[in-house]
Amino acid sequence: MKVIWSSLSVERTTEIGKYIALDDRPVATKWIESVFNRVEQLESFPKGGTIVSETNREDIHQLTFDNYRIIYRISVDTIFILTVRHDRQILPESDIE
């Protein structure tokens, strides 16, 4: 399957990386690389994540990584990475549209 990152998901990942870099730049770089590696696994295992409880939709799943949720939508041959959120943040409906 093909993986496509939305501009929002890239923006959120970058923001989180910048925040982590305030304390430790190498840790931030490693964190971002690890997020991309985690998402890469979806190419082989698209249903590897769990259904997002807030949506109750079969096509919207999430992977957890550290204290973050990687929210994605599964279509026939593509996985769309929609957003990345801290697990304590409320998931706005606008992030999954």
Q: What is the DSSP string of the chain?
A: -EEEE-HHHHHHHHHHHHHHHTT-HHHHHHHHHHHHHHHHGGGT-TT-SEEPTTT--TTEEEEEETTEEEEEEE-SSEEEEEEEEETTS---GGGG-
The string of pLDDT tens digits covering residues 7-60 is 999 999 999 999 999 999 999 999 999 999 999 999 999 988 999 988 889 999
Q: Where are the domains of the chain?
A: 2-87
The string of pLDDT tens digits covering residues 59-82 is 999 999 989 999 999 999 999 999
Superfamily of domain 2-87 in the CATH hierarchy:
RelE-like (3.30.2310.20)
